[in-house]
């Protein structure tokens, strides 16, 4: 089967399958998408990736074997993209898709990627990673409202949809009841090679991973909670990873202004390989302060490394990703007192850490195993291919 794959793509993750070095070609990127592409390739399928390049002078196509990457143009100004609801991007990507001949398309997110795939008329599975209502609630403003309206339109046009958590699917069905009978839950997944089954020991260090220092990511409350913890545990440490969380950046500026930088390391945005190496160096606890996530890859990657996790009990699919409390501590992440209390429990209760370690590994080896996720996606794609064949 030749699978079209419309999504943000992390090209360096595909280098082993390409005939050129793609590390210097910046794209609209999400690393997990590359793992899915590789999983399809390893099962013997051919894959055409459709994504956006960030520099117009870079090549439009990479690869000539089982993997081909087609790159369309994307305007750099978010406001311009929002004004026409990504119309130029949708048309550009649809032309790229039309230049190849996929049997089926797997499109991610319910916005410009899915809209472009549906425009071609090819059989398409759309995977939702968020909902229009979540965008309006957690972001708002002109850009996100326009993006949400495009997502709403796409949802009315899909024939098959998957959502990465039950909570997300519930939101989508509330907004678009016509999806009933066309959708199912398929979570994000973790490759078994990423799992580190070392024995759990005591924890002294905490980490937070958030791309963007905004209200939804809620890093301010995490920093405030850590400051409370330091009063009783001055030996504790916190490292902040992600965009706008580096030295001198927004998170650092806010913490500096409020005199909350003690024992906090502002690591900022690092490569996936660097992040994995640093998280593997010692047993740490992930404090996931986000107010809403569908199926957080940061949480799944932490569980795969044997890390205990603190997350939001009212934060969308966070509870689902943590086995509804079996594999992590669920708290009200708007409360610095509750977060600090959970951090204290992690420091003081090694048996709790061991229990979370065991159940977390069980989740990523079972429910969130990448092989199982790909099995489910292949069932959907094969169904669409067979349906198209019958119609023809």
**Residue of higher predicted confidence among 281 and 156:** 156
Q: Residue 95: CB partners within 8 Å, gap ≥ 6?
A: 72
Helix axis angle, 370-391 relative to 31-42, nearest 10°? 70
Q: Which fold does the domain 2-188+369-391 belong to in CATH?
A: Rossmann fold (3.40.50)
- For 222-267, what is the HEC assignment? HHHHHHHHHHHCCCCEEEEECCCCECCCHHHHHHHHCCCCCCEEEE
Tell me which CATH code domain 192-365 carries.
Answer: 3.40.50.2000
Please state, as a whole number, how many other Cβ atoms lie within 10 Å of the Cβ of residue 192.
12
Q: Residue 50: CB partners within 8 Å, gap ≥ 6?
A: 4, 5, 6, 7, 70, 72, 93, 96, 97, 113, 116, 117
Flag the least confident range among 23-27, 137-141, 200-204, 344-348: 200-204
The pLDDT confidence band at residue 200, using thresholds 50, 70 and 90, is low
For 239-272, write each residue's pLDDT tens digit: 999 999 999 999 999 999 999 999 999 999 998 8
Confidence (pLDDT) at 341: 98
Query: What is the chain's mean pLDDT, rounded?
Result: 94
Distance CA 88, CA 124 (A): 21
* pLDDT at position 197 over 80: no
Distance CA 270, CA 349 (A): 31
Distance CA 391, CA 178 (A): 22
For range 307-324, the mean pLDDT? 97
Residue carrying structure tokens 């409370």: 228
* DSSP assignment string, 333-350: TT-HHHHHHHHHHHHH-H
Q: Which 3 state secondary structure label does DSSP give 80?
A: helix
For range 341-354, the mean pLDDT? 95
Token readout for 226 is 């850590």
Query: Residue 205 — φ and ψ, nearest 5°?
Result: -110, 145
Percent of the chain topping pLDDT 90:
86
The pLDDT confidence band at residue 283, using thresholds 50, 70 and 90, is confident
Confidence (pLDDT) at 319: 97
CB 108 within 8 A of CB 6: yes
The pLDDT confidence band at residue 364, using thresholds 50, 70 and 90, is very high
Q: How far is CA 114 from the centre of its chain?
A: 17
For range 378-388, the mean pLDDT? 94
Confidence (pLDDT) at 198: 66
- Annotated domain spans of the chain: 2-188+369-391, 192-365
Confidence (pLDDT) at 23: 83
The reply to whether 192-365 shares the fold of 2-188+369-391 is yes
Q: Please, which residues bridge with residue 241 across strands?
A: 209, 268
* DSSP assignment string, 34-54: HHHHHHHHHTT-EEEEEEEES
For the chain, give me the number of helices (H) and strands (E)? Answer: 15, 14
For 226-242, write each residue's pLDDT tens digit: 999 999 999 999 999 99
Q: Is 229 exposed, middle or buried (0-12, 13-18, 19+ CB in 10 A)?
A: buried
Token readout for 180 is 């009933």
Nearest to residue 334, comparing CAs of 221, 207, 208, 217?
A: 221
């Amino acid at each position: 089967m030749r699978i079209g794959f419309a999504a943000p793509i992390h090209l360096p993750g595909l280098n082993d399958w390409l005939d050129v070095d793609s590390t210097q070609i910046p794209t609209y990127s999400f690393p997990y998408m590359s793992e899915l592409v590789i999983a399809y390739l390893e099962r013997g399928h051919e894959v055409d990736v459709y994504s956006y390049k960030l520099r117009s002078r870079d090549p439009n196509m990479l690869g000539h074997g089982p993997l081909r990457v087609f790159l369309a143009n994307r305007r750099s100004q978010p406001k311009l993209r929002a004004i026409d609801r990504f119309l130029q991007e949708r048309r550009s990507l649809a032309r790229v898709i039309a230049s190849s001949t996929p049997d089926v398309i797997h499109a991610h997110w319910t916005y410009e990627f899915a809209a472009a795939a549906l425009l071609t008329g090819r059989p398409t599975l759309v995977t939702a990673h968020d909902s229009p209502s979540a965008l309006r609630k957690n972001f708002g403003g002109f850009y996100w409202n326009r993006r949400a309206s495009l997502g709403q339109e796409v949802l009315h046009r899909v024939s098959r949809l998957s959502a990465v958590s039950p909570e997300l699917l519930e939101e989508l069905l509330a907004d678009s009841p016509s999806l009933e009978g066309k959708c199912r839950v398929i979570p994000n997944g973790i490759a078994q090679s990423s799992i580190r089954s070392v024995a759990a020991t005591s924890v002294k260090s905490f980490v937070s991973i958030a791309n963007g220092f905004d209200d939804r990511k809620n890093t301010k409350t995490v920093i405030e909670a850590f400051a409370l913890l330091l009063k009783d545990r001055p030996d504790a440490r916190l490292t902040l990873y992600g965009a706008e969380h580096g030295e001198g950046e927004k998170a650092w500026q806010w913490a500096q202004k409020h005199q909350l930088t003690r024992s906090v390391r502002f690591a900022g945005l690092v490569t996936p390989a660097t992040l994995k190496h640093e998280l593997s160096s010692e047993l740490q606890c992930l404090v996931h302060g986000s107010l809403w996530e569908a199926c957080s890859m940061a949480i799944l990657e932490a569980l795969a490394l044997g890390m205990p996790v603190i997350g939001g009990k009212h934060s969308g699919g966070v509870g689902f990703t943590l086995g509804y409390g079996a594999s992590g501590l669920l708290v009200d992440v708007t409360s610095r007192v509750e977060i600090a209390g959970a951090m204290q429990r992690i420091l003081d209760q090694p048996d709790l850490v061991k229990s979370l370690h065991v159940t977390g590994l069980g989740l990523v080896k079972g429910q969130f195993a990448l092989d199982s996720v790909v099995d489910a996606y292949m069932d959907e794609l094969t169904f669409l291919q067979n349906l198209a064949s019958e119609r023809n």
